[in-house]
Amino acid sequence: MPLPTRRIGKDSVSEIGFGAMGLSAFYGGVPSDEERLKILDTVFAEGCTFWDTADIYGDSEALLGKWFQRSGRRNQIFLSTKFGFTVEGANNTPEYMRSRITNSLKLLRTNRIDLYFAHRVNRETPIEQTIRAMAELIKEGKVRYLGLSEVSADTLRRAHAVHPIAAVQVEYSPLTLDIEQIGLLQACRELGVAVIAYSPLGRGMLTGAIRKNSDFDADDLRRYIPKYSQENFPKLLEVIDFLAELGNKHQATPGQITLAWLLAQGPDIIPIPGTKNVKYLRENLGATKIKLSAKEVVAIRKLVEKADLGGYERYPVGFNDDLHVDTVMELN
């Protein structure tokens, strides 16, 4: 069944996409290939045709490549992937990009990427240099649209002046409103740039499934994120329980209310929740049927502002330095 659509560039994509990271990395144990391929079968069957991955997400690109080969449905998926986020820090030099696009195309078993993101931006590489190199990939037919992730408003404007940017990917949920507070959302709207909201469920926190920090597995990234420390859980639970209360009114889950709230922020917002569970996948996509009243949308925002969780770092120590980056200016 097709889902409602939103726009990226000239393309229509499902209004909720699928973030593939959690199938392969960072959120505890990884299921078998066969289990994960069946999940992707369901993602497609449920009408979700916008899939997002990255070269740093474990075997995610290879997994999607296997699915494309097995299903023969590559042309029915709007595919985005990313380069430039490394354990040594951001690297978006033209040379590095060239090596990564070659590898991504090979792993994904495709000859083109619909939307190619610079995953993180290095301060020492002028954004103009990066975008010119990425634009060459469009001329070569390897990429259709360009995107940026976790950049500043100024960097977006400079990039867009070199070549149109189709989308910006940023963490965006009731618990993370940075995009609104640093002028990035305003810049996206002025330029006609779609906003791809990753971790729209607050990295799963807003589903209500996690009630304390120790519920996370030892190898789960979220266990080490300051925002989700045990001391913050009373405030988090206040938000989660309110979402559950609204959910009862709408016959929906807290996660569905969260996604409905995000969709209500504007027609240019496209959330990409991920999951390893078919039940939660269907719940996520079902959020497109829920319409919150203006009063309910405001009530959620007021409660989140009262909880005051915005000042806490949203990545483990050492991974926050590459967020909202301004690059050096290009020398003429």
57 is an active site residue: yes
**Residue 182: exposure state from Cβ atoms within 10 A (0-12, 13-18, ≥19):** middle
Q: How many helices (H) and strands (E) does the chain have?
A: 11, 12
Q: Residue 251: left if φ>0, alpha if ψ -120 to 50, beta else—which one?
A: left
Alpha-carbon distance of 206 to 208, in angstroms, equals 5
Amino acid present at 252: A
Q: Which DSSP category does 53 fall into? A: -
Rounded to 10 degrees, the C-alpha dihedral 192/193/199/202 comes to -40
Reference 286, options 8, 63, 1; nearest CA is: 1
Alpha-carbon distance of 286 to 320, in angstroms, equals 32
Assign 240 to helix, strand or coil: helix
Identified catalytic residue from 27, 57, 228, 280: 57
In the numeric block, which tokens belong to residue 272? 């990409």
Alpha-carbon distance of 148 to 182, in angstroms, equals 16
C-alpha torsion sign, points 159, 25, 75, 107: positive
Q: Which residues contact 41 (CB under 8 A, 6 or more apart)?
A: 67, 71
Alpha-carbon distance of 179 to 198, in angstroms, equals 12
Yes or no: say if 61 and 24 are a contact pair by the CB < 8 Å rule.
Answer: no
End-to-end Cα spacing for the chain? 52
Amino acid present at 96: Y
What is the chain's alpha carbon radius of gyration, rounded to the nearest angstrom?
19
Which positions are annotated as active-site residues? 57
